[in-house]
Chain A
Amino acid sequence: MKKVLLQSAVAAAISMSLMTTATAQESSALDIGRLALAGYGDVTYAYQPDMKDEEGNDIQNNVVARFVPIFLFQLSEKIHIEAELEFSTNAEGETETELEYANMHYFFNDNTIITAGKFLLPFGQFGANLHPSWINKAVSNPGIYGGHGGNGSLGGVTSIMNDTGINVANTWVLGDAGRIFTDFYAVSGPRQEEGDHGGGVEIESKNGDNNDSMAFGGRIAYAFLPEWEIGMSYYSGAYSDDGDLNYSAYNIDFNWVGSYSSVRGEIFGSTAETEGEEEGEEEGHGEEWVKDFDKSGWYIQGTWQARQLGKSWLNPVEFVVRYSDIESDFDGSIEHDFEEDGGKTGSRIYYGVNYWLEPSAVLKLGAESTSIENEEASHTSVPDDRIFLQLAFGF
Chain B
Amino acid sequence: MKSIKFVFTIIVLTTSAFSIKAQHVNDPSLVAKGAKVYSENCARCHNARPAEEYSKKEWSVVIPHMRAKAHMTGKEALAVEAFLASTLTADVRNAEEYTKPNAPKKSGEELVTQFGCQGCHQIKGEGGKLGPALDGVVASKGESFVLKKLIDPKFNNAASAMPKYPMNKEDIKAIIGFLKE
Contacts and interface: CB of A to CB of B under 8 A. Distances in A.
Interface of A: 6-7, 10, 13-14, 17-18, 21, 24-36, 38, 70, 72-80, 82, 104-107, 109-111, 113, 115-117, 125, 128-130, 132, 134-135, 164, 169-171, 173, 177, 179, 181, 225-226, 229, 255, 257, 259, 307, 312, 315-316, 356-360, 394
A225 B81 CA distance: 19
Contacts of B130: 226, 259
A27 B81 CA distance: 10
Interface in B136-163: 156-161
A289 to B, nearest CB: 35
30 contacts: A6-B2, A14-B12, A21-B17, A21-B18, A26-B75, A30-B56, A30-B57, A31-B55, A31-B57, A31-B60, A33-B55, A33-B58, A34-B61, A72-B64, A75-B14, A77-B18, A77-B20, A80-B64, A104-B13, A105-B64, A105-B68, A107-B64, A111-B73, A113-B67, A226-B40, A226-B129, A257-B43, A257-B44, A315-B159, A394-B46
A286 to B, nearest CB: 40
Contact of A129 (B10, B45, B64, B75): B45
A17 B58 contact: no
Contact of B156 (A72, A169, A177, A312): A312
Given A80-B65, A259-B132, A31 B56 contact: yes
Contacts of B9: 10, 13-14, 104, 116
B85 A18 contact: no
A171 B78 contact: no
Nearest to A78: B17
Contacts of B8: 10
A34 B64 CA distance: 12
Given A6-B2, A316-B159, A356-B159, A30 B18 contact: no
**Interface majority SS (helix, strand, loop, mixed), chain A:** mixed
Given A104-B10, A109-B74, A359-B159, A28 B22 contact: yes
Contact of A78 (B13, B22, B62, B78): B13
A315 B73 contact: no
Contact of B82 (A18, A29, A357): A29
Contacts of A77: 17-20
A29 B25 contact: yes
B68 to A, nearest CB: 5
Given A21-B16, A21-B17, A78-B17, A225 B41 contact: yes
Interface residues of B, number: 70
Contacts of B98: none
B18 A74 contact: no
A226 B39 contact: yes
A24 B20 CA distance: 9
Interface of B: 2, 5-6, 8-10, 12-14, 16-25, 30, 39-41, 43-50, 53-65, 67-69, 71-75, 78, 81-82, 84-86, 91, 128-132, 156-161
**What 4 pairs between A and B have smallest CB-CB spacing?**
A33-B57, A78-B17, A356-B159, A36-B61
A123 to B, nearest CB: 14
Contacts of A35: 61
Contacts of A36: 54, 57-58, 61-62
A155 to B, nearest CB: 26
B84 A30 contact: yes
Nearest to B59: A30
B178 to A, nearest CB: 23
A26 B27 CA distance: 12
Nearest to A38: B62
Given A10-B5, A115-B68, A25 B20 contact: yes
Nearest to A106: B13
B46 to A, nearest CB: 4
Contacts of B18: 21, 76-78
A177 B41 CA distance: 11
A164 B5 CA distance: 13
B116 to A, nearest CB: 13
A21 B59 CA distance: 24
Contacts of B12: 14, 17
A118 to B, nearest CB: 10
Contacts of B157: 307, 312, 315-316
* Centre residue among A24, A117, A225 by max chain B CB count within 10 A: A225
A114 to B, nearest CB: 9
Nearest to B159: A356
Contact of B19 (A6, A13, A32, A173): A32
Contacts of B55: 31, 33
Contacts of A14: 9, 12-13, 16
